[in-house]
Amino acid sequence: MNDPFDSLCVRKLDLPDHNPAQQLPLFLSSSFSFDTIEQGIDIFTGQQDGFVYSRYGNPTIEAVTRRLEALEGFGLDTDIRGYMTSSGMSAIHLILVSLLQQGDKVVTQANLYGGTTELLTKVMQGMGIEAVFTDLTDLERLESLIRSDKSIRAIYLETPTNPTLACLDLQVLGDLAYRNGVKTIVDNTFSTPYLQRPFGLGIDFVIHSTTKYMNGHGTGIAGLVLGRDVSFMKDRFWSVLKLTGATCNPFDAWLVANGLRTLPLRMERHCENALALAKALSDHEGVNLVNYPGLESHASHALASRQMSGYGGMLSFEVKGGQEKALRVMNGLKLASLAPTLGDVDTLVLHPATSSHLKIPAVIREAQGITNGLIRVSVGLEGVSDLFDDFTSALDSSD
């Protein structure tokens, strides 16, 4: 008796056919229907554009991805292809397994984010892909290493690095890699394309944790991989992405879209506040050193000034008194939050030795300047005088 009523409840809703929404619609659909089975066949075989299943592609995710491609490729006369992933770590993993195979090697630096180092040594190594750690500023040694070992197929790097903010010369490394037939992969999370665009400096692939500055509000987890080799990205990378299922979800992509609309404004304020706080910390008697490329005293200042349009919102500083003092300073902060992330609108602090770099042997950490007294700061958008007061008070009261 209720069959027509039941069918009416279940039947797919028809969207009103009128002028479009001002904001990006959120398509929370796992699959997409076809007008005819012939249309479905054409979409599955690539003869017609369309969506099939959100693991393969989704209108919300694709709209955001196209914008991210445009931002990283801004001002360049070259095509960029990108795909959003489930996290920054999945982005790193996916580009490595897409590009490399058993027996291959990737050259990288010792002062990486701790999670990346663990991925290389605990996961990739188990797959027969070896990470070779070396000083990427020693170009003569690096080129000799690559030329003597044909199994080296890629260079992976961060610049600025996490958490010491050391910078690497992208143009020089890109040229060196091209001469020797290896690919370059750069984590551009700290800088965002607003401050640094590696593709314009000869880099092959760029990855992001869009969880950080691209989102900017700490509301989601997502990643991004972009490449200049469009065929490779569409064929090899997309195949690995869809079959491993490490795709972004529509809601997290939508959150990134919201963040992107204020990216320039936020990055300008992050840079302004970080430079001011770095200068203030440098003058404090309880601080041994401050790592911020905007300071003339920083070893990477000249390089950062050349390849970046701003110095970013990240800094780290080493307090006198080691870990015990560092933890007291962090517990004394009232405005800044203790949180294991970065790039949010509010200031966040982290102790690398006991968190992000906990699993890295102390001898390796300390050789890279990641000491027990080092505190990493993601400088937020608060009033700069409030930031001064918070850090100064925490340092002064920690004795």
What are the catalytic residues?
55, 113, 187, 212
Euclidean distance between CA atoms 214 and 256, whole angstroms: 6
Report in angstroms the alpha-carbon separations of 359 from 23, 116, 265, 322.
43, 11, 36, 19
Cβ pair 207, 188 in contact under 8 A: yes
Contact of 98 with 240, CB cutoff 8 Å: yes
Q: Which residues contact 284 (CB under 8 A, 6 or more apart)?
A: 392, 395
Strand partners, 81: 227
Instruction: Give CA–CA dist 290/315, Å, rounded.
Output: 7
Torsion angles phi and psi, residue 114, rounded to 5: -60, -35
- The residues pairing with 132 across neighbouring beta strands, listed in sequence order, are 107
Longest dimension (CA), the chain: 83
DSSP classification of residue 345? S
Residue 60 CA to residue 54 CA, distance in Å, equals 10
Distance CA 227, CA 152 (A): 19
Contact 204, 227 (CB under 8 A): yes
With CA atoms as reference, report the closest residue to 312 among 210, 165, 187: 165
What residue type is assigned to position 265 of the chain? Answer: L
> First and final CA of the chain: distance in angstroms?
80
| Token representation of residue 394 | 């925490």
Angle in degrees, 0-180, between the axes of helices 170-179 and 139-148, rounded to the nearest 10: 20
Per the CB < 8 A criterion, the answer to whether 144 and 105 are in contact is no
- According to DSSP, residue 21 is labeled P
**Beta-sheet pairing, 130-133 with 314-319:** unpaired
